[in-house]
Amino acid sequence: MSGDIEDMGPVDYLVVEFPGNRMTGEAFPLLVGLVDQGIVRILDMRFVEKDADGNVAGLEVTQLEDGSGLGLSVFEGASSGLLGQDDLEEAGHALEPGNSAAILVYENLWAAPFARALRRSGAQMVASGRIPVQALLASLDAEET
């Protein structure tokens, strides 16, 4: 297993909120395409919902699919166990009541060769982050004024 870890690319997670539990399914084929192209590897994917009282519950893909035509059945079994109940609860805290979310843990396969080379040279990542598009646009707008 340690050999596999040495070959891995950076691992990220996303929590994507769906207001009013409205999932259109438009983005899911694009995610499948990223997997098929070898750009990312899904390590874990779970769904949660937050009811009007603030209670958070995990959802199974079969509960979401239920004849909806979202195309989620391709993700059935994508749960590796990396995400535990505490992670679902944590994601639920970020949700507004009445909304649901997808929690995705994925490996950036495109960056794996770069990460391997860095590890071989003795380098290690000491910090990472993500800049939300809205913050980037706000910063650019502020520069223009």
The pLDDT of 11-29, averaged and rounded, is 87
Burial readout 105-135 (b: 16 or more C-beta within 10 A, e: otherwise): bbbbbeebeebeeeeeeeeeeeeeeeeeeee
Asked whether residue 57 is domain-assigned, the answer is: yes
Asked whether residue 135 is domain-assigned, the answer is: no
Contact call for residues 116 and 79 (beta carbons, < 8 A): no
Q: Which two tokens stand for residue 103?
A: 């929690």
**How many domains does the structure of the chain reveal?**
1
Mean of the per-residue pLDDT values of the chain: 85
Strand order in the sheet with 56-59: 11-18, 100-108, 40-50, 56-59
Tens of pLDDT, residues 63-112 = 665 555 555 666 666 667 889 999 999 999 999 999 999 999 999 999 99
The pLDDT of 22-49, averaged and rounded, is 88
Asked whether residue 137 is domain-assigned, the answer is: no
